[in-house]
Structure 1
Amino acid sequence: MAATNKDVVLIVSLVLSLLSLVLLFGVTWYFQSSLDLLQQQVEYDRELLLKLQEQVNLPAGNKYDTTSQSVKRQTQPRCYCRGKPGPPGIKGDEGTPGVLGPKGDTGVRGDPGDRGPRGEIGDPGLPGPKGPNGENGKKGDAGLRGDPGDRGLRGLTGDTGLRGPIGQTGEPGTKGDKGDPGPRGPTQPASKGMKGVKGDDGLPGPMGLKGEQGLNGAKGATGQKGVQGDIEERNGGTVYVRWGHSQCPYTAELVYSGRAGGSDRRDGGASNPQCLPLDPNFLTSFSGRYRGYMYGAEYKTHISSYRHDYDVLCAVCYVTQRSTMYMVPAKYTCPRGWTREYYGYLMSQRSTHSSSQFTCVDRAFKAVTGSSANRNGLLFYFVEGRCGSLPCPPYDNSRELSCSVCTK
Structure 2
Amino acid sequence: MDVKAIRELFPILHQEVNGHPLVYLDSAATSQKPASVIKALEDYYKLDNSNVHRGVHTLGTRATDKYEGARDKVKHFINAESSRQVIFTRGTTTAINTVAYSYGRHNLSEGDEIVITPMEHHSNIIPWQQTAKATGAVLKYVPLQPDGTISMNDVKEMITDRTKIVAIMHVSNVLGTINPVKEIAEIAHQHGAIMLVDGAQGAPHMKIDVQDLNCDFYAFSGHKMCGPTGIGVLYGKEALLEAMEPVEFGGEMIDFVHLHDSTWKELPWKFEGGTPIIAGAIGLGAAIDFLMEIGLEDIEKHEEKITQYALEQLQSIDGISIYGPKHRAGLVTFNLTDVHPHDTATVLDAEGIAVRAGHHCAQPLMRWLEVTATARASFYLYNTFEDVDRFVEGLKKTKEYFGDVF
Q: TM-score, normalised by structure 2?
A: 0.18
Structure with higher RCO (Cα < 8 A, 6+ apart): 2
Q: Is the helix fraction higher in 1 or 2?
A: 2
